[in-house]
Every structure is written in structure tokens, then in C-alpha cells.
Structure 1
Amino acid sequence: MNNIDIAKTYIQAVQTGDQATLGRLISPEVVWHQPGHNQFSGTHQGMAVVGPMLGKMMEVSQGTFAITRADHYMANGDWVAITIEFAGQANGITLKQPGVDLIRIEDGKIAEVRLFSSDQVQEDLFWGR
């Protein structure tokens, strides 16, 4: 699989909750950069940390948080940028906004993830402190 195919498979696995595929695609040593100033913000290292964080995000959003669209996939070397829309409900806020997921692929696995939100203030309120 080329990097675009890996990115598409990753997004589809996120959208369908396919944990087995995510486990195969994401490096155990992944570096995850969660933006903003909320309880999940910061750089998180390794699936042992990232996995429970993603689970807690689903708990906070009562399972509503989702990538609702993935429109464009653009590769530049090891990096793939994906324009997305994400949505969910938490803390009295209905979130729906565009963003960009930037993933670095190394040896066929996702080694690094950087996320970008179009309205970080709203996303911070959504996730809470």
C-alpha cells in the first residue's frame, strides 16, 4: 500500500470503529499531537497512552465524536494531509467543523499524527478541561 492508501484505510477504520485495522496501522510508538488547551491537548507518546485517551474522548462525547467527511488526501514524502470534517456532541456543545489531519507514515505504519481544527476555541470548550 502507498501512503495515500494507508491514510484512506486509517480514516475508514476510524469512521467504522475498526479497532483491529487501527491496531495494525498505528505504530505502537506513535507520537500524537492533540491541539488546543483542553483535557486531551499535548503530545502523547505510544499507543499505551494514545489508546486510552481516544477511549476517553469517545466517553466524553458519548460515542458521538466522528470524522464525518474526508475530502482530499495529499502526500508529500512520508507525510499525508487529509482535509476532514469532524462532529460530535459534548458538554452542551454541538461541534461540526473542518480540520486537517496530518499523518507521518514510516515503514507502512502511522508513526506521527498532528491534528488541526478550524475553531480551536470551540473544540476546547467541547472537550473541556
Structure 2
Amino acid sequence: MSAIDVVGQYGAAIAAGDMDALVATLADDVVWHQPGANQRSGDHVGPDAVLAHLGAFMELSGGTFALETESATESGQLVATTVRFTARREGAADLDQHGVDVFRVEGDRIAEIWLISEDQDAEDLFWG
């Protein structure tokens, strides 16, 4: 399976809200690198930590957080996707941004994920 296919399965699992399918795409020692200076920033290691991290986005946004993959391209083990992510939160301006997510795939699992937001300062304000 190609790296872009693995990331495609990840994206389909996110879109469907299928956490079992999502975990199946992640390496046991996956690292999610969350940028910025907010309560969710930092490295989240392992599938359980990634699920908890995504769950925190849902909790903080009252279930409104959504992530949509717009396009993807690959170079060997690396896959870059353009994304749009949205969320609402009481007391904060709505979050509606584009970004780039970069994945490193080993075999048939995602080993690392880096996120790049179009406006990190606005995202930091949103997540607090």
C-alpha cells in the first residue's frame, strides 16, 4: 500500500468518525506534533494520546470541530495534505482555517504527523 493510500484511509476514518479505523492507520509509537502556544500544543505520542487529543478538540468545541482533506501529494514516505478545519467555541471567534498536514508513513502505518495552520495566532486564541 502506498503512503498516500494510508493517509487516505486516515482521512476517511476521520470523516466518518470511525476511531477504530483511525487507530488502524497509526503506528504504535505515532507522534502528533501540534504547533502553537495553546493548551493543546505539544507532542502527543501513541494512538491513545492521538485519540485523546482529537477528543479534546471535540470537547472544547462542543462537538463542532471538523477536519476536511482537500488534496494530497506524496514523495516516498512523506504525504502532504491541504486541509480545512473549522470549530465553534463560546467566547471565541469561530475557527475556519486552511492548513497543511504532513505525514511520515512507515510501512502501512502513520509514524508522524506535523500540522501547519494558516494563522497560528488565531488558532492559539481559539483553543486558549
What letter corresponds to residue 107 of structure 1 in structure 2?
G
Match of 2:80 in 1: 81
Provide the TM-score with structure 1 as the length reference: 0.92
Count of residue pairs brought into register by the alignment? 127
Between the aligned residues of both structures, percent identity stands at 44
**Which structure 1 residue ranges, 5 or more long, are not aligned?**
none
2:38 — aligned with what? 38
Q: CA RMSD in A?
A: 1.2
The structural deviation recorded for 1:104 is 0.7
* Residue 57 of structure 2 is aligned to residue 47 of structure 1: no
Please, what TM-score do these two structures have when normalized by structure 2? 0.93
Aligned residue in 2 for 1:9: 9
- SS of equivalent residue, structure 2 residue 114: strand
Q: Gaps (5+ residues) in structure 2?
A: none
- Post-superposition Cα deviations, 1:26-46, rounded to whole Å, max 9, x if no partner, equal 112101100100001112221
Deviation per CA, 1:16-62, whole angstroms, max 9, x where unpaired?
11111101111121011001000011122212322222211110011
In structure 1, what is the Cα distance between the partners aligned to 2:3 and 2:107?
10
Q: Corresponding residue for 2:127?
A: 127
Please give the alpha-carbon distance, in whole angstroms, between the structure 1 residues aligned to 2:9 and 2:101: 14
Distance 1:86 1:18 in 2: 18
